[in-house]
Amino acid sequence: MKLVVKARLTAAVLIGVLVSVAQYFNQVRQIRSGRDAFMAAQAAHYDKLLIPMNHPIQTRVFATAISMALVYGLYELIALALLVAISSTSASPWDGN
Dump pLDDT digits (tens) for 11-68. 999 999 999 999 999 999 888 888 898 899 888 888 887 776 777 889 889 999 999 9
Give dist(CA 10, CA 4) in Å, integer: 10
Q: Which region among 6-10, 16-20, 49-53, 88-92 has the lowest average model confidence (pLDDT)?
A: 88-92
Q: Are 79 and 11 in contact (CB under 8 A)?
A: yes
Confidence of residue 87 (pLDDT cuts 50, 70, 90): confident
pTM of the model: 0.67
Q: What is the pLDDT of residue 33?
A: 87
